[in-house]
Amino acid sequence: MSRIGITLHPLTSPDRAELDLLASQIAAGVITAGGAPVMIPPDLDETTLYARFADLDGLILSGGGDVDPARYGMTPIPAVGGVDVQRDQTELLLARWALETGKPLFGICRGLQLLNVACGGALYRDISEHAGALRHAYYPNYPHDYLAHSITITPGSRLATILGATTIAVNSLHHQACRIVASPLRAVAFAPDGIVEAVEVAEHPFALAVQWHPEALPQEKASQALFGALVSASSPVRQTAFIAGAH
């Protein structure tokens, strides 16, 4: 059974109840897909963190507070909130290790933004910095499963193949997004206003991140397909084959 690491938010997060719920839904998505969730707190020292990482078959970077703007060469603005320096450091290490080793990686919301920053990209500190931006942050006035807008997916991308579609409706719960998409990431889905809704790494066995929250849509076939694809890619047998092929 594939062991899937799930990054967690700090216990002091101002929106901890909401993030606790989303984390439990991510774990449920992994279990439904046939994987075994392994929670990763944000406060492990680097040696312990790497030992935890090495024992995993796949990794999920979960949603949560904003990435520190200093990580991508910007200064804070009033809209930035929930920054946790230790969580940023933990997840940047995990993302880079997953990219370096070929370990399957799936990012959700903040996870997409964190992956972009880990690769050298930059973010909109608030979507209002994007010309013509639509509203993307619907919580708390709407439930987590509110389908806020559609996205267009690049034909032939890994995401399009997984979902079997080039357009779907998604639940939108974010106020930040990619400003500059870093290499080696490729933007493969977009909202009607041009905001990046998914990225992937073409040269990686499985590295994909989405801007919406599939865990809050457990009955949707698209959500099940995403968790299923990660767990399948994280099969210990497939990991052994990848490592053998790398030599």
**Side chain identity, residue 66:** D
CA distances 196 to 38, 55, 60, 202, Å, are 29, 32, 19, 17
Q: Supply angle C-alpha 5, 8, 10, rounded to 5.
A: 155
Sheet holding 36-40, edge to edge: 36-40, 3-7, 58-61, 105-108, 207-210, 196-201, 185-190, 147-153, 167-171
Phi–psi pair at 73, nearest 5 degrees: 75, 25
The catalytic residue positions are: 109, 213, 215
- Using DSSP's 3-state secondary structure scheme, residue 242 falls into helix
Query: In this structure, how many other beta carbons lie within 10 angstroms of the beta carbon of residue 247?
Result: 4
- Using DSSP's 3-state secondary structure scheme, residue 123 falls into strand
HSE-up (13 A, CA, CB side) for residue 147: 10
The DSSP secondary-structure symbol of 133 reads P
